[in-house]
Amino acid sequence: MSIPASGALHRLLAPLIDVGTFDFWVQQISPRAAWNRPLATVTARRLEARDTVTLTLALNRHCKLPQAGQHLNVSVEVDGRRTTRCYSPTRIDARHRTIEITVKHVPNGWVSTQLCHHTQAGDVIELGEPFGEMNGADAPGPWLMLAAGSGITPLISLIRQARERQASNPITLVYCAKKRADLCFLPELRQMVARQPGFALHVVLSQEPDLIDGEMAGRLDGVILNAVIPDLAGYHVFACGPAGFVETARTAVGERARSFEAEAFTPPTLALNADEAVHPVHITLAQSGRTVTVSSQEALLPALEAHGLQIPHGCRMGVCHTCSCNKVSGTTRDLQNGQAQGEPQAAVRLCVSSASTDLILDL
Ligand SMILES: Cc1cc2nc3c(=O)[nH]c(=O)nc-3n(C[C@H](O)[C@H](O)[C@H](O)COP(=O)(O)OP(=O)(O)OC[C@H]3O[C@@H](n4cnc5c(N)ncnc54)[C@H](O)[C@@H]3O)c2cc1C
Ligand code: FES
């Protein structure tokens, strides 16, 4: 539902509208209608693999369509609290403005439990802006895709896009999981192997007792990589999975490939500074005038949350920029690379930054 019809009318009415009240009443008629919020209606759900569900989402006009290989924040209500996590669309249908996300249930996880076990067709969820740089558009030549677990999601989207565009570059997918039952999209991938010249699939299983169809046992390492592709020269490599998997892939590939692009779905170990003594720092929150005290060794996002602040966030690992806020003054440290940032009026990602000195934040 398009509300209101024209951009000019939208701008004219904006100062007169109470957005919350407008959204409440208009959603009585159409659940994904909203003044300006990017909302999506769940139109279908299906089991994709063990503990893994694919949801089809119909986007309202405020949602920006992602590119293959990108991610977006998904917000749902869990126990009355709006909670946000990142997911990577597995299918993007620009013509019908629908996307699919494929969610693996994490035991005791807030959002994956909600999406896998409770979300039904007709439910409405909020989406963030797409983000992420991993797109294969500028990568002619052979592709090697390395996926572990849920890391298959942005890669299947790139593979599907390449197939739709009838791209001729050979694609080799090495797909790692614990057991065969955990593998997503397996019938489709096997069909591609059978029908698409140049597409190869290698399955690596770490906990499957009985291997079939050329499956390999173990975890990705240099030996498996060399067995699959002995000479990586000319290859564009895409790797996606938990942080440890991405690091193993990076080491195994080394400098041998033409390019290496990777996304980790779990945070890397943050670099606490052994040389810097732990000390309390005062954070002044400019918008409320409140001051809280945190440890200089703690990431600012959890430290401020522990004081009861509700700060918008998504990935909690420095990739989506949802937690960015303006630092008015003071010095922070980037926990990913250890670098100090003392510039005033600079954007700071709270999930991967700690405070080295007292700070004033525009919060
Ligand atoms: C860029 C990106 C793209 C992603 N794409 C996908 C995707 O396409 N598909 C997919 O399935 N996932 C994807 N993920 C992972 C996803 O964002 C979530 O991290 C995942 O679904 C788990 O979220 P959750 O809310 O269920 O778990 P959380 O509630 O965040 O919990 C995660 C773990 O921490 C534990 N935990 C939580 N709170 C506590 C506590 N207080 N004490 C002790 N333990 C605790 C839980 O038991 C659980 O094991 C992606 C992540 C990123 C960063
Ligand atoms: S929450 Fe994504 S960058 Fe901080």
CA-atom Rg of the chain in angstroms = 23
| Residue 75 alpha carbon to ligand 2 centre in Å | 14
What's the mean pLDDT in 214-227?
95
**Residue whose pair of structure tokens reads 């005033």 in the numeric block:** 344
pLDDT at residue 1 in the model: 46
Residue 35: its pLDDT value, please?
59
Q: What is the mean pLDDT of the chain?
A: 90
Ligand 1: atom nearest CA of 52 is 11
In words, the CATH class of domain 38-127 is: mainly beta
Sequence-separated (6 or more) residues with CB below 8 Å from residue 235:
141, 142, 143, 144, 229, 257, 258
Q: 33 falls in which pLDDT band (50, 70, 90)?
A: low
**pTM (two decimals):** 0.86
Segment holding 148, helix H or strand E: strand 143-148
pLDDT tens digits, 241-300: 999 999 999 999 999 999 999 999 887 676 666 666 789 999 999 999 999 999 998 999
Lowest pLDDT segment from 87-96, 130-139, 293-302:
130-139
Q: What is the pLDDT of residue 14?
A: 64
Residues 61-74 have a mean pLDDT of 95
Question: What band does 20 get if pLDDT is binned at 50, 70 and 90?
Answer: low
The pLDDT of 317-332, averaged and rounded, is 94
- Of 104, 114, 101, the residue nearest 49 (C-alpha): 104
- CA 179 to each of CA 210, 223, 238, 341: distance values in angstroms, whole numbers, following the listed order: 10, 20, 22, 44
CA distances to 99, 112, 124, 135, 142 from 66, rounded to whole Å, are 9, 21, 18, 11, 24
Q: Any idea which ligand is nearest the CA of 336?
A: 2
Decide whether any atom of ligand 1 lies within 6 Å of the 245 Cβ: no
Per domain, the residue ranges of the chain are 38-127, 136-171+198-264, 280-361
> In this predicted structure, which of 63-72, 75-84, 323-332 has the lowest mean pLDDT?
75-84
Residue with the larger pLDDT of the pair 345 and 18: 345
Nearest CA to ligand 1 atom 48: 109
* pLDDT on residue 270: 65
CATH class of 280-361: alpha beta
Per-residue pLDDT, averaged over 65-92, amounts to: 94
pLDDT above 70 for 336? yes
Average pLDDT over residues 55-74: 96
Of ligand 2's listed atoms, the one at least distance from the Cα of 313 is: 1
Q: What is the pLDDT of residues 176-214, one digit of tens each?
A: 999 999 999 999 999 999 999 899 999 999 999 999 988
Ligand 2 atom closest to the Cα of residue 318 is 3
> How far away, in angstroms, is 348 Cα from ligand 2 center?
10
- The long-range contacts involving 117-124, CB below 8 angstroms and separated by at least 24 positions, are 119/42, 119/45, 119/55, 119/76, 120/42, 120/45, 121/42, 121/43, 121/44, 121/45, 122/31, 122/41, 122/42, 123/41, 123/42, 124/27, 124/31, 124/32, 124/39, 124/40, 124/41, 124/42
% of the chain surpassing 90 pLDDT: 75
Domain at 136-171+198-264, CATH from 3.40.50.80, 1.10.8.620, 3.30.565.10, 2.10.109.10:
3.40.50.80
* Ligand 1 lined by 263 (C-beta under 6 Å): yes
Domains 136-171+198-264 and 280-361 share a fold: no
Asked if residue 39 has pLDDT above 80, the reply is yes
Residue 321, ligand 2, Cβ within 6 A: yes
Rounded distance from Cα 85 to ligand 1 centre (Å): 7
Distance from Cα 236 to the centre of ligand 1, integer Å: 28
Ligand 1 atom closest to 267 (CA): 53
Looking at residues 15-41, what average pLDDT do you find?
Answer: 68
Give residue 122's region: left, alpha or beta (phi > 0; psi -120 to 50): left
Res 2: pLDDT: 44
pLDDT of residue 137: 65
Mean pLDDT across the stretch 217-227?
95
Residue identifier of the C-alpha nearest atom 47 of ligand 1:
108
State the pLDDT at residue 284. Answer: 97
Q: Is 71 in the pocket of ligand 2 (CB under 6 A)?
A: no
Q: Are strands 81-87 and 143-148 parallel, antiparallel or unpaired?
A: unpaired
Mean pLDDT, to the nearest integer, of 86-95?
Answer: 97
Query: Are the C-beta atoms of 228 and 202 separated by less than 8 Å?
Result: yes
Q: Please, are residues 34 and 1 in contact by the beta-carbon 8 Å criterion?
A: no
